[in-house]
Amino acid sequence: MNGIGTALLSEVQREALDEVLAGVPYNSASQFHEYFGTRAAPPRFGQSCAWQSFTVGRMVAERSGAGAEYLIDGRHVAAVYRRPEGLVILDPYLLHGEPLRLDRGAAVDGAVQVAVDAYPHRVRKDGTPAPSRVRATWTLDDDAIRLDYLRFSPRRGHNVASRSFVLRPESRLETVPPPADWVRPLLVHPEQHSVSVRVLHPATRRMAELILPLADRPAGVAGDSKLLITKDNQGAVATYGDARFERDLEVVADAVCAPQDEVIAFLLEAAAIHRSAAPAGLALAPYSLEDE
């Protein structure tokens, strides 16, 4: 792939992934500001999932010279590194704590599978740790990669499938980032039924998320603030004005190094941009207020 040694490249990939996990939060509002608004979002506020992958890939390239393939499934993008012995995948949105390394020699019945711990690291009722998991499956005959994110559900008492993506070699992005005319329709896709910022606090490595559901909002933007909710590291939902909401909001604001009011305003403005940009009659599913 390039002249850098395998061991050094592995360390560069691991460090870059960790830096993005803790320092570039997932923020689905950022690209609304950039592609429909008047300015790019402050870097500390984070980026949408695809841009997290672009960022980790850029970091690896700057430090090692190794370039990534960016494979896409719908609106999701992962950075994939090919080497003679297999693949390495970096996908910060899925919160895996180590790069996903798939070695061709470990294939069983034509497929290679690996699973690693991912955030959030939750706790069972008995106090034992319950990390999330990301599982990657690479089928050699068609070169397809399936990524499954399995997050521990305190309510159910076991890990449940939260996200799944299939990356195929023909889905490679040729331009990174893609052209604006390609990006804008994806931002107002019906799947985008909220704007949110999700942080992995760099000091505690605990997650918190501030979310504004986009369905059934009042006409006035000022009224949107009362629809805000948060989730804590255990996936428990808190509504606007609740003490737990204030606690979670404090974690989010501290992680992005911004005042709480500024973080809220950022989401409110993105929601207003979405309202203006979305096609007429766009139907959005309600956001679940159920604890995970």
Exposed / middle / buried, residue 170 (Cβ in 10 Å: 0-12, 13-18, 19+): exposed
Cis amide prior to 154 (ω within 30 degrees): no
Which amino acid is it at 274? H
Domain contains 198: no
Q: Is residue 75 part of a domain?
A: yes
Reading the block at residue 248, the tokens are 């979670």
**Is 278 within the bounds of a domain?**
no
pLDDT, residue 4, reads: 72
CA 181/CA 46 separation, integer angstroms: 22
Q: How confident is the model at residue 40 (pLDDT cuts 50, 70, 90)?
A: confident
Q: What is the mean pLDDT of residues 45-51?
A: 96
Residues 193-248 pLDDT 10s: 999 999 999 999 999 999 999 998 877 666 789 999 999 999 999 999 999 999 99
Q: CB within 8 A of 228, min separation 6: which ones?
A: 210, 211, 212, 239, 240, 245, 264, 267
The answer to whether residue 96 scores a pLDDT higher than 50 is yes
DSSP-derived secondary structure for 121-177: EEE-TTS-EEEEEEEEEEETTTTEEEEEEEEEETTTTEEEEEEEEEE-GGGB-SSSS
In a domain, 82, yes or no: yes
Q: Which residues of 24-48 are buried (b: 16+ CB within 10 A; e: fewer)?
A: bbbbbbbbbbbbbbeeebeeebbbb
Asked if residue 130 belongs to a domain, the reply is yes
Question: Quick one: pLDDT at residue 1?
Answer: 44
Supply the range of the domain harboring residue 127: 48-171
The pLDDT value given to residue 41: 85
Residue 78 has pLDDT above 50, yes or no: yes
Average pLDDT over residues 168-182: 96
pLDDT of residue 211: 98
The 8-class DSSP code of residue 250 comes to H
Question: Would 105 be classed as within a structural domain?
Answer: yes
Q: Reduced to 3 states, what is the DSSP secondary structure of residue 206?
A: coil
CB 60 within 8 A of CB 1: no
Residue, of 6 and 53, whose pLDDT is higher: 53
Query: Residue 153 domain-assigned?
Result: yes
Query: Mean of the per-residue pLDDT values for the chain?
Result: 95
104-134 tens-digit pLDDT? 999 999 999 999 999 999 999 999 999 999 9
User: What pLDDT, on a 0 to 100 scale, did the predictor assign at position 3?
Assistant: 55
Assess if residue 78 is contained within a domain.
yes
The domain tally of the chain equals 1
